[in-house]
Structure 1
């Protein structure tokens, strides 16, 4: 596990003392009614500490404190591309550290074969057999300790058949469902583990498109699903999308036709009237969900009209902000948690927006590769955070 150097620990303490007043919305990570564990804060990307140090050295203490506050907020720990032996050891260390802190870690597992349609975040296991071995290693690493697992972002929202990488028989898509089901069946039964499946986000799949994928992916054997991972949709849009999906799953489970379910683009009053008339399952028996609020403080980016051949509104959009702090107390009987799944401050990839590049035409710079620290974006997330990460004078 990574730990901040001694000089950074001293810097952090100094900045914490300087900006000791609580933010507009402190992270409320405790369990229901304040009981039980909180959410786990992992070690930060070392480049985040270095950025904070450089900002403080330049006298930009508020920005430095903001970066430290951001990385000191509970967020997911991502795993992918490690060997089985490596991932077992790394997962065991995280869940052990979290257990010592009386906290629940969020594990983002990202090793599915053909992930991200072999685009910016290409990689993952070579085949199904290798993936099963990797999942088995994760399961051994978790053991009997607590963990929330956001399983394979984009695995169901972006199937091999969606990006022209499958054969006429749908072999790779069938394998994808087998892999996701295998992961659910081997992780969810662990004593303290809750597994959530991918839905993309509310601006992508309609409810009647994603629900069959969730059902086929084994959501009935999981704790639920998640939405908005690494995206920018508002909390309201995410919670409403989650409610519609959960309600549709219940409706289909009772023998209804998925095509009849209201989607996120219906007038909300009409959709609610449909739910009232057709879904009578109590929330305790419905499929639950979690959402990602790591970068949605300003909502989605609207690209300038007609400027780019492919605006890539999901890829390092400018002037976004950190969203509401993670919590296990959402006030919604269907929503188990609001999380920071995407690591804020890490790049989405080399965004070209349909241009030859190499620069991101919206930013005028060459963006870091996916997963690398992006100092400019990290500062934007802090400065445009909603609610703010530090008190405003």
Structure 2
């Protein structure tokens, strides 16, 4: 907090003016202010979203840019840092996470805003890869979820529950036994979290779908059902990824519609998926799904880094291009809002904290440098100044 106060007090007038005119830099939680008229016209409820403290690396980078007299870049980094984004929990003890969750919901209440929590502590998370870790046992995870629930209490909260938990099961990465023990445990853990958090008076829980370039609708819907989606508010998609907002919202629509179709006795194998021609898929939906959107499962999307869409590696250059891992020249996407104009689409959110690294990206080489960048990428979750500046400069829509 001291660094933030020192930095903001030292801003030159030109930089301060740029900050004040940027849509994402008004009072905390006011990233939705510019959406009010559009939201009202679309008949969409607009909720103020919580602005947490940013990664300290953002403020350090802004100070450095100011010293270099790169005022616009500094303003951009600060605008990005002051935009509503998720608060991630995953490595805290139950006592710590309860205390931190309680602090966040109290602070959000003072902002008259709704916080977004990304819970990331399921056993065997990320198949023990870049973001490996998580609770050691199911019982340990359940105790941790109980602590999160106590911290949230009766306050407003949105929860994106365990990114990659359903899209990347233990059985998907060869870490299960012949009986599927770890995968069964994963489903039990996700169900426990849904049954603990969703009943809280003002909490909405969304389950993992990966993204539209990964699992087909026909594949992810059975996983969602096994994970207890019927008792959750809905699903989230594109967490920490780069797919366009159009692709994400269509994927979410297809999943919500397929869940409604299955709920009326249909088979998920018959549902259109994201690779069908869109007109054909829409015709199928018009014929087979007539459920009131208010009664369907809703979805949220991650627009934090999808302003320029996904990155395509040069043909034949890498044995494993890792398109998801710190791709170059990406940009911030649409600002977070609940005014989407779509009754199924609850919000565009910044789930991934833009500016934080995806991990050490080697793209099939021996490393240690990322061959696409010529540098050693920071560890997952650490601040990545090079990528942060790219996200600001290539933001779509622009920050200023």
TM-score after normalising by structure 1: 0.96
Which residue in the other structure is 1:57 paired with? Answer: 67
Aligned match of 1:11: 10
Match for residue 28 of structure 1?
32
Instruction: Give the Cα–Cα distance (whole angstroms) in 2 for the partners of residues 212 and 123 of structure 1.
Output: 26
Task: Say if 2:308 is the partner of 1:284.
Answer: no
The alpha carbon displacement at 1:8 in A equals 1.1
- Contact map agreement 1:12 1:68 (CA 8 A) in 2: no
Query: CA, structure 1 residues 258+226, in 2 after alignment: closer, same or farther (shift >3 Å)?
Result: same
Which whole-Å CA distance do the structure 2 matches of 1:63 and 1:79 have between them? 29
Q: 1:125 to 1:53 in 2, by over 3 A?
A: same
| Contact map agreement 1:37 1:102 (CA 8 A) in 2 | no
- The CA distance in 1 between the partners of 2:327 and 2:7, in whole Å, is 29
Q: Distance in 2 between matches of 1:155 and 1:353?
A: 24
Tell me how far 1:9 sits from its aligned partner.
Answer: 2.4
The Cα of 1:19 is off from its aligned counterpart by 4.7
**Does the aligned pair in 1 maintain the 2:305–2:332 contact within 8 Å?**
yes
- Deviation of the 1:21 alpha carbon: 2.9
Q: Could you tell me which residue of structure 2 aligns to residue 203 of structure 1?
A: 213
Aligned equivalent of 1:241: 251
Contact 2:191 2:227 in 1 (8 A): yes
Partner-residue secondary structure (3-state), 2:140: helix
Matched residue, 1:192? 202
Contact 1:108–1:151 (8 Å) recurs in 2:
yes
The question of 1:41 aligning with 2:51 is answered yes
Structure 1: tracts of 5 or more residues without a match: none
Rounded Cα–Cα distance in structure 2 between residues aligned with 1:230 and 1:299: 12
Give runs of aligned pairs for residues 89-168 of structure 1, distance below 5 A. 89-168=99-178
* 1:5 Cα deviation after fit: 3.7
| Residues in 2 aligned to 1:248 and 1:171: alpha-carbon distance in whole angstroms | 28
**Partners of 1:23 and 1:388 within 8 A in 2:** no
Matches for 1:226-237 after TM superposition, within 5 Å: 226-237=236-247
The aligned counterpart of 1:307 is 317
Q: In 2, distance between residues paired with 1:4 and 1:191?
A: 36
Query: What is the CA distance between 1:378 and its match in structure 2?
Result: 0.1
Cα distance in 2 between the residues matched to 1:12 and 1:205: 46
- The Cα of 1:7 is off from its aligned counterpart by 1.3
Whether the 8 Å CA contact 2:31–2:49 is kept in 1: the answer is no
Equivalent residue, structure 1, for 2:189: 179
Residue in structure 1 matched with residue 348 of structure 2 by the alignment: 338
Shift of 1:282: 1.3
**Counterpart contact for 2:7–2:59, Cα < 8 Å:** yes
Contact 1:24/1:387 (CA < 8 Å) preserved in 2?
Answer: no
CA distance in 2, matches of 1:268, 1:37: 31
The answer for the alignment partner of 1:296 in structure 2 is: 306
1:354 maps to 2:354:
no
Unaligned runs of 5+ residues in structure 2 are none
Tell me by how many angstroms 1:16 deviates: 2.5
Report the alpha carbon displacement of residue 198 of structure 1 after superposing the two structures with TM: 0.4
Q: Does 1:223 align with 2:233?
A: yes
Residues 42-76 of structure 1 deviation map (CA, whole Å, 9 limit, x = unaligned): 00111110100000000000000000000010000
- Deviation of residue 11 (structure 1)? 3.5
- Describe how 1:367-378 pairs up with structure 2 within 5 A: 367-378=377-388
**Contact kept in structure 2, 1:198 and 1:225, CA below 8 Å:** yes
Change (3 A) 1:375 1:168: same
The answer to whether the 8 A contact 2:239-2:301 is kept is yes
The alignment of Structure 1 onto Structure 2 pairs a total of residues equal to 389
Q: Give TM-score, length-normalised by structure 2.
A: 0.94
> Structure 2 matches for 1:74-89, cutoff 5 A?
74-89=84-99
Matched-pair contact (CA < 8 Å) for 1:115–1:155: yes
RMSD: 1.7
Give the distance between the partners of 1:317 and 1:354, measured in 2 at CA: 14
